[in-house]
Amino acid sequence: MLLRHTSKEVKVREGLTINPAKTCQPIGAMYAALGIHGCLPHSHGSQGCCSYHRSTLTRHYKEPVMAATSSFTEGASVFGGQANLLAAIDTIFAVYDPDIIAVHSTCLSETIGDDLQQITKKASDDGKIPEGKYVIYASTPSFVGSHVTGYSNMVAGIATQFAESTGVKKSQYNIIAGWMEPSDMREIKRLAKVMGINIVLFPDTSDVLDAPQTGKHVFYPKGGTTVEELKSSGDSLASLALGSISAEPAAIALEKKCKVPFETLDIPIGLTATDRFIMGISKVAGVTVPDEITADRGRLVDVMCDMEQYLHGKRVALFGDPDQILPLTEFLLDLGMKPVHIVSGTPGQKFEKQMRQLLDERSPETNFKSGLQADMFLLHQWMKNEPVDLLIGNTYGKYMARDEDIPFIRFGFPILDRIGHSYFPNIGYSGSLRLLEKILNAIMDRQDRDALEEKFELVM
């Protein structure tokens, strides 16, 4: 047994988190900044933060993840990190020549009270930022929220610091991506094209974190939302924020700064969330839904009808990030499955309320906890008390899955031991069909593995 010390008996904990279902803000900020073209993320703190975040993102994407650090030592921690950040800005523009440096803070720089707005202003006043280049920032203290909060803060920072309103509206819509994979962002762009609307998608990590092998390392890959696009987002007709935790704050910021009205939708994972996404575009932009999309939907529903017997009543435990597991839970319910246990380490009343509402309506008996001590240790204990047929979550779930001998689907962040998430979306109708295929494969492979010889089925 790998997790041999996890007992069945659940005790309330107040101080100790065990096997967290979240990580800290800065990594989310780093990921978001990679979705801006020509941008170098910069971690204002100790070297370890930057190294850990780059390592984790690299393991997840199997791609170069470039980012710099202020390399705090004890002196900087005592006297403040301004000198380090100013020096870093000099070095970065001289050596790596980005269009943008996106600085995020860390628990260290936040604790000592470094003010990124003031330091970046000083950099600008001192002429350290070359003409046509930018240094933007987001405050991302690790002791607040989670990696999702950090993503959200950086995306909001991007919106606030770039968007401009010229007074002349452009015939385009902003789609603000909640935390999703490059493959998902690519799919959003495809769907918008099929729907016939012009969009500014930000951030956009497609063609950044799924870059092709060409024999050359392109430091700033071709993908990412451009500065021009970001500036123009203030003139868009409306914004669609995908994810109330990871994307909505940016939409609110845009509304405040440039009066761009917005609608918040779930990340389109599963049938009904995708329905709302398509209807959302249709309503906001006044466009009809092309047959191609209706047919896409039909294919997903077709499989749901045809394979319902393998799904109905199957018990699922899941963990992950709010904006992803909310629509995922809804999808599982639409499939006739039972989400029995759900945890998310990301704290926040908004998510708590949304998930409770969904569960109260459709699955009131589900165990659900989010925030502090909502960790995989608790989830595992719940699973020991009320066993499940399937576990869905990031790579760390494989230890529980192995110990309990239950099928496991990798979903969320980070996925350190499989590929696919960068290339094949989980969103939209076809992405959801892929997710459904994975669920079915996991369940049906298990049936095949466990079937008695006389019960082994050829056709399923």
Show the site string, 388-407: x = touches another protein by CB under 8 A, - = not: --------x--x--------
Closest CA to 225 of 239, 204, 254: 204
Beta carbons within 8 Å of 210's beta carbon, 6+ residues apart: 61, 63, 182, 183, 186, 422, 423
Count of residues of this chain found to bind another protein when the rule CB under 8 A is applied: 86
Whether the Cβ atoms of residue 37 and residue 162 lie closer than 8 Å to each other: no
Beta carbons within 8 Å of 420's beta carbon, 6+ residues apart: none
Q: Which stretch binds another protein (CB under 8 A): 137-145, 235-243, 300-308, 432-440?
A: 137-145
- For position 107 contacting another protein by CB under 8 A, the verdict is yes
- For position 62 contacting another protein by CB under 8 A, the verdict is yes
Find the shortest distance in angstroms from Cβ 265 to another protein: 29
Candidates 79, 90, 166, 445: give the one binding another protein (CB under 8 A). 90
Q: Which stretch binds another protein (CB under 8 A): 90-98, 258-266, 307-315, 446-454?
A: 90-98
Q: Which stretch binds another protein (CB under 8 A): 61-69, 197-205, 274-282, 360-368?
A: 61-69
Instruction: Judge residue 455's burial from the number of C-beta atoms within 10 Å of its C-beta, 0-12 exposed, 13-18 middle, 19 or more buried.
Output: exposed
Sole residue written with tokens 């109260």? 360
Residue 450 CB coordination number (10 Å): 10
Closest CA to 392 of 372, 373, 375, 407: 407
- For position 80 contacting another protein by CB under 8 A, the verdict is no
- For position 364 contacting another protein by CB under 8 A, the verdict is no
Element (H, E) at 263: strand 262-265
Find the shortest distance in angstroms from Cβ 272 to another protein: 32
Between 77 and 447, name the residue whose CB sits nearer to another protein: 77
Q: Which of residues 194-213 bind another protein (CB under 8 A)?
A: 211, 213
Find the shortest distance in angstroms from Cβ 304 to another protein: 36
- For position 263 contacting another protein by CB under 8 A, the verdict is no
Give how far Cα 214 sits from Cα of 18, 186, 351, 410, Å. Answer: 42, 20, 42, 29
- For position 106 contacting another protein by CB under 8 A, the verdict is yes
Give how far Cα 15 sits from Cα of 11, 12, 18, 373, Å. Answer: 12, 10, 10, 8
Find the shortest distance in angstroms from Cβ 387 to another protein: 20
Find the shortest distance in angstroms from Cβ 266 to another protein: 25
Show the site string, 9-48: x = touches another protein by CB under 8 A, - = not: --x-xxxxxxxx-xxxxxx--------------x--xxxx
- For position 4 contacting another protein by CB under 8 A, the verdict is yes
Candidates 30, 31, 37, 72: give the one binding another protein (CB under 8 A). 72
262-265 β-sheet, strand order: 199-202, 173-176, 238-242, 262-265
Between 142 and 264, name the residue whose CB sits nearer to another protein: 142
Whether the Cβ atoms of residue 161 and residue 136 lie closer than 8 Å to each other: yes
Whether the Cβ atoms of residue 368 and residue 343 lie closer than 8 Å to each other: yes
Candidates 112, 129, 303, 440: give the one binding another protein (CB under 8 A). 112
- For position 126 contacting another protein by CB under 8 A, the verdict is no
- Vertex 284, ends 194 and 193: CA angle to 5°? 15
Beta carbons within 8 Å of 79's beta carbon, 6+ residues apart: none
